[in-house]
Amino acid sequence: MIKFFKALEFASEVDIKIRFVFKKTSVFAFTLFATVLLAQAQKSPEESQLRAGQCYSIPDSKTYLKSLQANPGAYPKMISELGSEKIANLQNTDSTNYYFCQVKCKNLTGLMETFWTTLSDSTARFSDMNGFLCSQVTIENVQIVGSIYGPQPVIHSFWAFESNLPETYQWLRKIDFKLPLNEFNIQLKSLRITLNYIASSYMTSTSPVLKRAGETLSHFADGTDQGDLSLIKYVLALAETNWSLLKLTPGTEDYFTFLALNPHARFVEYGPTALTGQK
């Protein structure tokens, strides 16, 4: 009888150990599976397929301003690139929090360059999975396995002038980027559709200022040589001010025209030299 109970006790211990090992193995397998899925969802765009001036974000690089200010010694290269003065001037508020992400962009020689960009989001979205994302990274319901779907971050490539990030514009100017004529015309066609839509909205207003802004936008989008030249001249003037809204008086025609053009018309600044006259 004693031997029986000892055998039973031994079998119980073995069962517990097996369950423990199985549990650890299951947790490891699930963690590995989740990591693989995340890596697949975050798979970077094929760099060989990108054109000069196109970029993609690196989500794993995301760093919050709060972390940077709390431990600046851990981010020497990042601070050096962004500039300590710029970082010092950034302050989180009750409504806005700043963060930083790296982007990789293809230069004119076909090489990829990596640099930091500055972003901000609503403080209320701090714990929201859809908030505080790097540029052109979206949360999408993607297939995990079989018929099972779940929210995962997906990385999209983008033109540097589409990002509305000051650092990407600075990079484009640094490399003296110019859009090929065919791509410029594609962007211009899309812009005309956008401007016509906004112009129609403006001109339904009872405000004389909005009506005049709508007429200006309609002229920019009319598809005539004169309309294109007027658009290019207007955008280049904005580029000289670094697209600063602070230099415009709120409620004026130029103010509402600016709101319609930024960021949709940013690409015009980087048009072919033959069109913009810029060298």
> Residue 211 has which token pair?
């009506």
CB 210 within 8 A of CB 202: yes
User: Does residue 192 share a domain with residue 160?
Assistant: no
Q: DSSP strand E in the chain: where? A: 54-64, 96-106, 112-122, 137-145, 148-155, 158-159
Q: Residue 103's pLDDT is what?
A: 97
Split into its structural domains, the chain has a count of 2
**Contact present, 61 and 103 (Cβ < 8 Å):** no
194 plus 150 within the same structural domain: no
pLDDT at 224: 95
Question: Do the domain assignments include residue 6?
Answer: no
Choosing from 122, 153, 174, the residue where a domain stops is 174
197 shares its domain with 126: no
Q: Are residues 114 and 186 in the same domain?
A: no
The rounded distance, in Å, linking the Cα atoms of 16 and 1 is 23
Tell me, yes or no, whether 144 lies in a domain: yes
54 with 170, same domain: the answer is yes
CB atoms near residue 159 (< 10 Å): 21
- 225 lies in the same domain as 163: no
Pairwise CA distance, residues 106 & 91, whole Å: 31
> Between the CA of residue 2 and those of 10, 78, 194, what are the distances in Å?
12, 70, 87
CB 68 within 8 A of CB 100: yes
Residue type (1 letter), 253: E
Inside any domain, residue 21: no
Q: Which residues pair with 100 in a beta bridge?
A: 63, 118
The verdict on residue 259 lying in a domain is: yes
pLDDT of residue 10: 44
Domain stop point among 117, 148, 174: 174
Check residue 145 and give its pLDDT. Answer: 77
131 plus 52 within the same structural domain: yes
The two three-digit tokens of residue 216, written as one number = 């200006």
pLDDT for the residue numbered 277: 66
pLDDT of residue 14: 42
Whether pTM exceeds 0.85: no
Q: What pLDDT is stored for residue 6 in this prediction?
A: 45
Residue 15 lies in a domain: no
Structure-token match 């055998």, residue found: 7
Determine the residue type at 30: F
Give residue 152's pLDDT. Answer: 84
Q: What is the pLDDT of residue 12?
A: 52
Of 159, 174, 189, which one is at a domain's C-terminal end?
Answer: 174
Residue type for position 161? F
pLDDT (0 to 100) of residue 143? 78
Low-confidence ranges of the chain (pLDDT < 70): 1-42, 129-130, 274, 277-279
Range of the domain at 113: 47-174
Residue 2 forms part of a structural domain: no
